[in-house]
Amino acid sequence: MFNIVLFNPQIPPNTGNIGRLCVNAGATLHLVKPLGFDISEKAVKRAGLDYWDKLDLKVWESIDEFLNSVDTSRCFFATTKTKTPYFKKEYKKGDYFIFGSETKGIDENILNKYRQNCITIPMTKEGRSLNLAVSCGIILYEGIRQNFKDFE
C-alpha cells in the first residue's frame, strides 16, 4: 500500500523493527545505501523476527538512483526541519515516506529541493527527535488511516 524509505540507516535493530512494521502494514521497505550494517546481520533479523522473509524489500545503490527512479511528487520527507505536520498532508496508495539516518537525518540539499513535501511529527521543546521505527509507524499509519478503505 505504501513505501517506507530509509536513507543510509545506521542501526540494525531499527531497520529490523521497521521491516516488521512494513510486513504488518503491507508496505514495501526501501533501503538506500550506504547502509551502516549488513542486512544479513543477526541484529536486523532478530528485530524482524520471523517477518524478515515475508518483507517486500528493495535495496538501492544511492539516493540519486532512488530519486531518479520514483515519482518524487509522491515522496514525503520526514524531518524536524519543517513546520508542516505529517497529518496536514493527503496521502495516496503508493506514496513514499522517506526517513534519514538516525544520526544525520536527510541531507539539507534534498530537503531544500523537496521543501513542499517535507513533513514533521510535532514534539515538545524538550524533545530533539523520536526513534526511527516509532516515527515510521506514526506516519505510515496516518497514511493507512486516510486510505483505510483500501487496506487489506
**pLDDT tens sequence across 68-120:** 999 999 999 999 999 999 999 999 999 999 999 999 999 999 999 999 999 99
CATH for 98: 3.40.1280.10
Residues 105 and 101: their CA atoms lie apart, in Å, by: 5
The three cell numbers locating residue 17? 523493527
Cis peptide before 34 (omega within 30 of 0): yes
pLDDT of residue 52: 79
**pLDDT tens sequence across 1-19:** 999 999 999 998 899 899 9
Structural domain total, the chain: 1
Question: Which residues span the domain enclosing 14?
Answer: 3-150
Strand partners, 120: 85
Residues 146 and 152: their CA atoms lie apart, in Å, by: 14
Residues 130 and 33: their CA atoms lie apart, in Å, by: 22
pTM flag (> 0.95): no
